Structures are given as structure tokens and as C-alpha cells.
Amino acid sequence: MAQSLAKEFTKGLWAEIPPFRLVLGLCPVLAVTKSVENGIGMGVATTFVLVFSNLLISLLRNVIPSKVRIACYIVIIATFVTIVELVMQAYTYELFLKLGIFIPLIVVNCIVLGRAEAFASKNGPVLSVADGLGIGLGFTLSLAALGAVREFLGNGTLTIWEGLPVFEMGAGFLPFKFMIEAPGAFVGLGLMLCLMNLIGKK
């Protein structure tokens, strides 16, 4: 039991890390990774939704009739997304403004619905939570990594959380503005994917 629990949790961190191994949910990945902070914020919000929707769907998996299961999943996911939206608006307002419509759009993030359909609807609540946490954490790490690359090259800084500059390039550094604009997101993700392939297929 403990072993399979660990397995479900860790697979999200490497073997099935989204969005690299599972090419799903690209939109928020590309859109919000202008900085590490945005990436982490988006990742945490998505993880919250993933964990709770997985838990609830797994608990209700024998009650939900299979014909309307997708509709039920969508209602459950949308409810948690709205909770996240309201809570973020109330307590982390600046981040809420930066992420904009990508918070409500967690609803249509294929990762969340994908995990509900592929995992939570077939497994018990404990495993489903582990799965949600693992995938969510993997997603957060990917977002933070891409955010770090883009922020570092495009702005010359690395900020984990507001008011906590970890690193700043000297005045001689000319920021590579391309990286924080739209095209930089595509190219950055494409090259990171290439790197993952290089490491993965030794």
C-alpha cells in the first residue's frame, strides 16, 4: 500500500510530469510563466483543484452514473476552481490580477479533467489524492522552471516570492526581452522539452 502510494505520488514528478511527458494543459504553462512567482501561483492553484476534485470524484465514483459522469466531473471541478478564484481574490489580490482569466480557465485545463477520468474514477480516495498531489506538484515544478528560465533571460532577475529577490544580474546585463514576450514562451518550452528528451532517452 505504502509502496503504491509512493509510486502514484512520484510518477507525477518525473515519469508523467506535465506538461512535458503528458503534453496537456499548455495554455497556462505558456501564458503565466513570465516569472517564477506567477508560475508557482498558477501551479499551487491548479494543485489545489486537482487534489480536491480527485478526492471528491473518487469518493463519489460509485454514485455517479456513467452516462453523465463528465458533466458531474465538470461541476465538481468548476466548483473548486471558483473557490480558488474567490480565495485568491481575497488574499493574494496582486497575483490574482496577474493570472487574470487563467484562473477560471483551470476548469478547461485538460490535466484536471484527464486525471479525473483516467485515475480518480477508478481508484480509491487515498491513491487519488496522492495522484493529484504528485501531478500537481510536477505541474508546479514545470511552471516554476519555465518561469525561471524566462524571467532570468528576459528580465535578469529571479524572484521566488514578492519582495524576495533571490538573484539579480548586474547593470551590465542586457535583458533578452524576447523571452518574456509571447514567442519566448513557445521557444522556451520547446527547448526545455528537447532537453527532457535528451536526458530521458540516454
Partner 1 sequence: MGDLFVLAISCIFINNILLAQFLGNCPFLGTSKKMETAVGMAMAVVFVLVLAGLITWVLDIYLLKAFNLEYLRTVSFILVIASLVQFVEMFLKKSIPGLYAGLGIFLPLITTNCAVMGVCLINIKEEYTFVEAAVSSFAYAVGFGLALILFAGVRERINLARVPKPLQDTSIGLVTAGIIALTFMSFKGMV
Partner 2 sequence: MREMISMIVVLTVLTAVSGGLLAAVKSGTEVQIENQILKFQKAPAIQDIFPEATNDPLAERFTIKTEDTELQIFPTLLSDGSKAIAFETKGGAFGGPIGLMVGINLSTDEIVDVRVTTHAETPGIGTRAKDDLSFVSQFSGLKIDTNFALKGDGGVIDAMSGATVTSKGVSVAAAQAKDIYQKLKPEIVKQMK
Supply φ then ψ for residue 76, to 5 degrees. Answer: -60, -50
State the nearest-atom distance from the C-beta of 102 to partner 1, in Å: 8
Q: Give the Å distances, CA to CA, from 80 to 24, 121, 155.
A: 20, 17, 34
Among 15, 23, 59, 87, binds partner 1 (CB under 8 A): 23
Nearest to 54 by CA among 41, 72, 69, 73: 73
CA distance 75 to 70: 9
CA distance 94 to 198: 38
The smaller minimum CB distance to partner 2, of residues 60 and 145, is found at 60
- Which of 1-9, 45-53, 158-166, 174-182 is the region at the interface with partner 1 (rule: CB under 8 A)? 174-182
User: Should residue 64 be labelled a site residue for partner 1 when binding is judged by CB under 8 A?
Assistant: no
The smaller minimum CB distance to partner 1, of residues 74 and 160, is found at 74
* N-to-C CA span, the chain: 31
State the nearest-atom distance from the C-beta of 96 to partner 2, in Å: 8
The number of residues that bind partner 1 (CB under 8 A) is 44
Among 46, 53, 54, 109, binds partner 1 (CB under 8 A): 109
User: Should residue 69 be labelled a site residue for partner 1 when binding is judged by CB under 8 A?
Assistant: no
The smaller minimum CB distance to partner 1, of residues 45 and 130, is found at 45
- Residue 166: half-sphere exposure toward Cβ, Cα within 13 Å: 10
Question: What element of type H or E holds 199?
Answer: helix 182-200
Collapsing DSSP to helix, strand or coil, 120 comes out as: helix
* Interface contacts to partner 2, rule CB under 8 A: 63-65, 67-68, 71-72, 75-76, 78-79, 82-83, 86-87, 89-91, 93-94, 97, 100-101, 182
State the nearest-atom distance from the C-beta of 181 to partner 1, in Å: 7
- Residue 21: half-sphere exposure toward Cβ, Cα within 13 Å: 13
State the nearest-atom distance from the C-beta of 95 to partner 2, in Å: 11
- Residue 51: half-sphere exposure toward Cβ, Cα within 13 Å: 16
For binding to partner 1 (CB under 8 A), which residues are involved? 23-28, 30-31, 70-71, 74-75, 78-79, 81-82, 85-86, 101, 104-105, 107-110, 113, 178, 181-191, 193-195, 197-198, 201
